[in-house]
A and B are shown apart, each in its own frame.
Chain A
């Protein structure tokens, strides 16, 4: 086992354990902070896969954006910390069926995909190639996403304005 494997297992354990803690924690703010560890672990795994740009984007978007928004939401909602959170098993049959279908789908995708098992050269950097792909092959998707985000931004601004009046 090389040192890279060790680091991979470290990040994998961090991700899985903290993800379990997110759903099993009593305190909703604590759950939000466990999510921090989950996002960080996932980003570490991206780094080990050689996807540097995706890893940093993960930190930028999920920790710097979504998690902060989540924390603001949790902290600014009154009495949210005193809410009794139910964690026990309630409806076990639908849950088992749902999870079973999901597991089956994931496993079938995993086994049917033709994975590239031959070693390819790990690219030194991914941002250049990613940028080129974004403005050539995926330019339509890129532009549409940009418009979608712009609409969301304008919508958010107009909603915030209406409340003020």
Chain B
């Protein structure tokens, strides 16, 4: 993809900038779809119908809402720190968007196949905290500040189990590049991370239970990092209005909204890449069967999006199933359970890999 663009435009930089356009377009389209899905899922779980008026079963409802948001007045209170208040949504959105450059959507499209891959994703999802604190502080509102401090504490704490599990998976695959991790899991679904990775033999069978533990830990900790229920303390509506984005309206609010939903897909796709083979199909490709070369990337894209969307759906499902945890429970889960388990898992997987 990049090589093709470099050939057309003759400049690496222009090609790389253009390569991010599909990703940006994907995020916007995905969010439009995901917001509708969230409303539909929540409605059906509560025995309602949800949005039904705009388009077929309300598919275009989000588009209508988005157009409404664009027209809204951009309210800036007098006591806000105006410069920081205006920059914060973009800091949050840009850092979230930056993580998407590392995701291998298909075998031919990766924003950047840099070797630092997952490390980059972790670093930038940590940098989001700076934007959130900026928003909370510049709002000059105690609910916003509480929300942003809670959010920052939560993200910083849950980064540790995430990083430990990511370390385990880097040991298994021997690379940090998300593209190469996906390539390592090709050909059969028993090569996927959750089934012990690409290595065959005794080690693979021994690894399966520990991979499952790693998957559960990564799922819980990334869910907490994206501030979703049951870990939605930063924006718990009953206590803090809407958390750090209480004061925002119009397009700036939609920036936060975009990055929140983009984050949901990001954590889903990280799980998919580590444990469920990324864009690889479990059954082989129709394109290979029919001998049509260009069909394969499209199938890969569909598999990747399908698997990612499944985890987004699980997040929504959990939201309407579990109650919110308390702050002390939140920290207990992280420091007393997830981190020790992740450490032991790391040690055991390391030992198994040495054998």
Please determine whether A60 and B133 come into contact, CB atoms closer than 8 angstroms.
Answer: no
Chain B residues, CB < 8 A from A4: 13
B181 smallest CB distance to A (angstroms): 14
The answer to whether the Cβ of A59 comes within 8 Å of any Cβ in the partner chain is yes
Among residues of B, the one whose C-beta sits closest to the C-beta of A61 is B123
- Kindly identify which residue among B129, B145, B176 contacts A127, using a CB–CB cutoff of 8 Å: B176
Point out which of A3, A33, A59 has the most chain B C-beta atoms below 10 A from its C-beta.
A33
Please determine whether A64 and B13 come into contact, CB atoms closer than 8 angstroms.
Answer: no
Answer whether A60 and B129 are a contact pair too, CB < 8 Å, given A33-B134, A72-B149, A75-B149: no
The answer to whether the Cβ of B24 comes within 8 Å of any Cβ in the partner chain is no
The answer to whether the Cβ of A68 comes within 8 Å of any Cβ in the partner chain is yes
Chain A residues, CB < 8 A from B176: 127
Please determine whether A64 and B133 come into contact, CB atoms closer than 8 angstroms.
Answer: no
B270-284 to A contact mask, C-beta < 8 Å, 1/0: 000000000000000
- Kindly identify which residue among B81, B84, B116 contacts A52, using a CB–CB cutoff of 8 Å: B116
The answer to whether the Cβ of A19 comes within 8 Å of any Cβ in the partner chain is no
B93 smallest CB distance to A (angstroms): 15
Answer whether A71 and B133 are a contact pair too, CB < 8 Å, given A3-B11, A60-B123, A127-B176: yes
Please determine whether B130 and A56 come into contact, CB atoms closer than 8 angstroms.
Answer: no
Answer whether A59 and B123 are a contact pair too, CB < 8 Å, given A30-B84, A68-B130, A68-B133: yes
The answer to whether the Cβ of A67 comes within 8 Å of any Cβ in the partner chain is yes
Please determine whether A59 and B133 come into contact, CB atoms closer than 8 angstroms.
Answer: no
Inter-chain pairs besides A33-B130, A53-B115, A63-B126, 15 sampled, C-beta below 8 Å: A52-B116, A56-B116, A56-B123, A57-B119, A59-B127, A60-B119, A60-B123, A64-B127, A68-B152, A68-B156, A72-B149, A75-B145, A75-B149, A126-B115, A127-B119
List 20 contacting pairs A-B, 8 Å CB cutoff, sorted by A: A7-B13, A27-B81, A33-B130, A36-B130, A53-B116, A53-B119, A56-B119, A56-B123, A60-B119, A60-B122, A60-B126, A63-B127, A64-B126, A68-B126, A68-B152, A75-B133, A75-B145, A124-B115, A125-B116, A126-B115
Rank and list the top 7 A-B pairs by shortest CB-CB distance, nearest first: A64-B126, A125-B115, A60-B123, A59-B123, A63-B127, A56-B116, A3-B13
